[in-house]
Structure 1
Amino acid sequence: MHVLKRRNFLKRGLQMAALPAISPIFHYESPQKTSQNLKLSLNAYSFNAALSSGSLQLEDLFDYCAKEGFAAVDLTAYYIPDYPEVPSDELLFGIKKNAHHRGLHISGTGVRNNFTLGDTDLRKREIALVKQWVVAAAKLGAPVLRVFAGPRLKAGENWEEKAALVIAACKECAGFAAQHGVIVAMQNHNEFVQSAEQVNYIMDGVNEEWFGLVLDIGSYSQHDPYDEISKNIQHAVNWQLKENVNHFGTQKPVDLKRLMAVIRESDYQGYLPIETLGPGDPFEKVSTFLAQVRGALG
């Protein structure tokens, strides 16, 4: 099914679910495009060092997000105790409750995986990992589970052959995720996937209702990043808004005005998670970038 139809299917399902159960027959008409429902989230990877060392606890991160007025947090699974093992329901539900008490949704979570592995058994383990965290994401209330395709090609490897493995794995995971109400979303991470053309190749190959893209604005290195974003935005179900874009291999500050114009011209609705990287105090970096993004959003 064409990706636009896939997005309309998801939107239509949410809207129909909100209607009173008067009749089993519904008539749906696409609404006139009005202002977009865009909300800001924080990608927890912005605090990677502090969360990984334990100097910052999830509750402290939630407190910070609430203070700064974020609508949600994108909680990468690395920071949940016992990762890559899925923790107890008690722990997952506790995280969900703690976020809720601070007025936060969990806009997504994500795992570290590799679907390009040539060894069938090893690749099955990666698929099993994703499926386990699909279930965990559902328990957290996270609508999106971020996955990777895999690392960059090694010498002598064929991209299309590896892409076939990625597509098959993503199809299987998306089919499983549909049973749990979670969208599996591949991030374009400038590793195996480096261009908008490659993103579209995999998206068209998977072609599943419950599969989408975590659109990483900082990971297009081969062409103009804003043109690349425009070519992929129809697949986006979540984002990583970064301070810099990769402009033909050179890091340049993101032109937020231009980026927001691209987003406004699309039909994207939902969360825009921001992520800051590099040296410096993450609290200061996030607060500064958040103010810039809010200004650009108007």
Structure 2
Amino acid sequence: VYDLGFDVIELHSSAFESTDADYLRNLKMNLMRKGLPLGYIGVSNNFGKPVAEHPEQIALIKQWIDVAAFMSCPIVRVFAAYVPEDCEDEETLWPPMIEAFKEVAEYGYESGILVGLQNHNHNNVTRDGDAVLRALNGTDHPYFTHILDTGQYAGSPGASGHRGSSHPGYDCYASIEQTARHAVYVRTKFYEIDSGVEEWLDYPRVLDILRGVGYNGCLSIVYEGQSDPIESMRKARSYLESLL
């Protein structure tokens, strides 16, 4: 990330070798020396698990809120609920999930750490804009916010399960329009950038949406294509910069 000249880095919880204080101090200093502030820490929780397991999921998020506070990182990224295969009605997942969101949001508030809900497809309940708004409004907490992933709304060629083609039943751009005003961080997905122009997602359109709501935050680059990732990240950065 440093060699590519990026300004911010985000880390998944699995990237941390330890949560020991000495390790975190060294990591924080290394990032500072590189001039790379930590944008968010990603947590892969799942409130689609049985309610009896929710305390474990809540504890996981709280653990990383504590780490984020130690690291001077402003946001912890969370997921909603993945619908279990044996679930007959995903509506039953919502009430306990919202209660969990309220608890972790309040915990984050006490430490000054935002909890950012990332939209996600692949059988997650936050597959479209309506669902993300429902989660945000249902939780109704100032420290429960939104991390917008441009490629993870249903209908995106990268998230629909139809690699390279859009799902006709969903409009990912409509979902982006619905939720962009709530975003405190944006993950820009890239899938096919060999030509220097992303071919699967319409980034001129996406950036117009973000400008329209006055978004002035980070645009992180997440590459999920099949080509060389380093060269693809360079191309993605150049492409985004050309549109700004």
TM-score class, shorter-chain normalisation, is 0.7 to 0.9
* Relative contact order higher in (CA < 8 Å, ≥ 6 apart): 1
Structure 1 gap ranges (5+): 1-64, 246-250
**Which of 214, 217, 228 is matched with 1:267 structurally?**
214
1:153 positional shift? 4.3
Structure 1 Cα separation of the partners of residues 149 and 236 of structure 2: 16
Aligned to 1:213: 146
Contact kept in structure 2, 1:214 and 1:239, CA below 8 Å: yes
> Where do residues 232-243 of structure 1 align in structure 2 (5 Å cutoff)?
232-243=179-190
SS of match in other structure, 2:111: coil
Q: Contact 1:114–1:149 at 8 Å: present in 2 too? A: yes
Q: Which residue in the other structure is 1:110 paired with?
A: 42
Residue correspondence of structure 1 range 79-90 to structure 2 within 5 A? 79-82=15-18, 87-90=19-22
Paired letter, 2:119: N
- CA deviation after TM superposition for structure 1 residue 77, in Å: 1.4
Task: Please report how far the alpha carbon of residue 288 of structure 1 lies from its aligned counterpart in structure 2 after TM superposition.
Answer: 1.1
Which of 14, 25, 33 is the equivalent residue of 1:93? 25
CA–CA separation in structure 1 for the residues paired with 2:227 and 2:16:
24
Deviation of the 1:156 alpha carbon = 4.2
Tell me the SS of whatever aligns to 1:75.
strand
CA distance in 2, matches of 1:270, 1:235: 12
Structure whose alpha-carbon radius of gyration is higher: 1
SS at match of 1:270: coil
Whole-Å separation in 1 of the counterparts to 2:210 and 2:44: 27
Query: 1:68 and 1:151 mapped to 2: Cα distance?
Result: 34
Distance in 1 (CA, whole Å) between partners of 2:102 and 2:136 is: 10
Please, which runs of 5 or more residues in structure 2 have no aligned partner?
156-169, 193-197
TM-score normalized with structure 1 length: 0.71
Cα deviation, residue 283, structure 1: 0.9
Q: Which amino acid aligns with 1:78?
A: S
Contact 1:195–1:228 under 8 Å retained in 2? yes
Structure 2 SS opposite 1:67: coil
**3-state SS of 2:91 partner:** helix
1:204 aligns with 137
Residue 166 of structure 1: how far off its partner (Å) = 1.4
CA RMSD of aligned residues (A): 1.8
Could you tell me how far apart the structure 2 residues matched to 1:95 and 1:271 are? 21
Alpha-carbon contact 2:128-2:172 (below 8 Å) kept: no
Match of 2:92 among 161, 172, 180: 161
Name the CA distance, whole Å, in 2 between partners of 1:284 and 1:157: 44
1:144 paired to 2:80: no
Q: Is the CA contact 1:188–1:219 (under 8 Å) kept in the aligned structure 2?
A: yes
| Kept after mapping to 2: 8 A contact 1:242/1:276 | yes
**How many matched pairs?**
223
Q: Could you tell me which of 228, 234, 238 is aligned with 1:281?
A: 228
The 8 Å contact of residues 187 and 213 in structure 1, kept in 2 or not, is answered as yes
1:73-111 per-residue CA deviation (whole Å, 9 max, x = no partner) reads 0111111114xxxx1111112111111101111111111
CA distance in 2, matches of 1:156, 1:254: 32
Measure how far apart 1:273 and its partner are.
Answer: 1.1
CA distance in 1, matches of 2:133, 2:88: 20
Query: What is the letter of the counterpart of residue 97 of structure 1?
Result: M
Provide the TM-score with structure 2 as the length reference.
0.86
Structure 1 Cα separation of the partners of residues 119 and 113 of structure 2: 19
Tell me, what secondary structure is at the counterpart of 1:179?
helix
Residues 257 and 99 (structure 1), Cα distance of their counterparts in 2 relative to 1, 3 Å cut: same
Q: 1:22-41 maps to which residues of 2 (within 5 A)? A: none
In the aligned structure 2, how far is the partner of 1:271 from the partner of 1:138? Answer: 19
